[in-house]
Amino acid sequence: MSEVHISERTIDTTAEAAALSGLANAGALVTFSGICRRDEDGSPIAALFLEHYPGMAEAEIERHVEEAKTRWPLLGVRVVHRTGRITPGETIVFVAAASSHREAAFAAAEFLMDYLKTRAPFWKKVERADGSADHWVEAHDKDDAAAARWRKPKDAAE
C-alpha cells in the first residue's frame, strides 16, 4: 500500500488506522484527522473546495515522509488528503505514524502535518452557507512558524 494517497473519496479513518496498528512491534500509533469546520471566521460554511496540483502534491508529501523516516524510527506512515467538495464534519486530511514508542510517532505526525500545510500544493476555497461569494482561504503566518521549528541548524539560513 502506498504511503500517500490523494483523491476525492471519503476518508475512512478507522480503516486507515487499522492498517498500521497491526504492524509487528508497533507499540505506538498516532493519528491526526483534519476536519472541515462548521464556520470560518465566524460565518457558517456550506462546504470547502480543495484544489491541488496533481503529481507535485504527492511528490512533496512523499519527500517529507522520507525525511520523517530518516529522523524517527518509524514502522509505518500513511498520509491521505481529500480534494474536491468537502462538507462540515468530513475529514480533509489524515496522517498516521506508527513506531515502537510514542515519542517518535507523535513527533513524526506533527512534522508531517506542519510541512503538509506549508509545502504541499493544496488550496482551500470557502463556500459560505449564506450564499455570498466564494473566497479562497489565505495562508497563515503561524503555519509557516510551525513548519520552521523543524528545520535543522544547517538549513536555518534558508
> Does residue 125 touch other proteins according to CB under 8 A?
yes
DSSP element (H, E) containing 16: helix 13-21
Pick the closer one to other proteins by CB: 137 or 148: 137
136 binds other proteins (CB under 8 A): yes
Write the DSSP symbol of residue 55: T
C-alpha triplet 61, 57, 139: angle, nearest 5°: 95
Interface size with other proteins, residues (CB under 8 A): 28
Q: Please name the residue that has the C-alpha cell 462546504.
A: 47
CB of 25 to other proteins, least distance (A): 29
CB of 101 to other proteins, least distance (A): 26
Residue 62 DSSP SS3: helix
C-beta of 52: minimal distance to other proteins in Å? Answer: 7
Strand blocks (E) in the chain: 4-7, 28-35, 39-40, 43-52, 74-82, 84-86, 91-99, 122-128, 135-136
Q: Between 70 and 109, how does the x/- string for binding to other proteins read (CB under 8 A)? A: -----------x----------xx----------------
Greatest CA span in the chain, whole angstroms?
52
Q: Does 12 bind other proteins (CB under 8 A)?
A: no
Choice between 45 and 75, CB closer to other proteins: 45
Residues near other proteins (CB under 8 A):
34, 50-53, 55-57, 59-60, 81, 92-93, 113, 116-125, 136-139
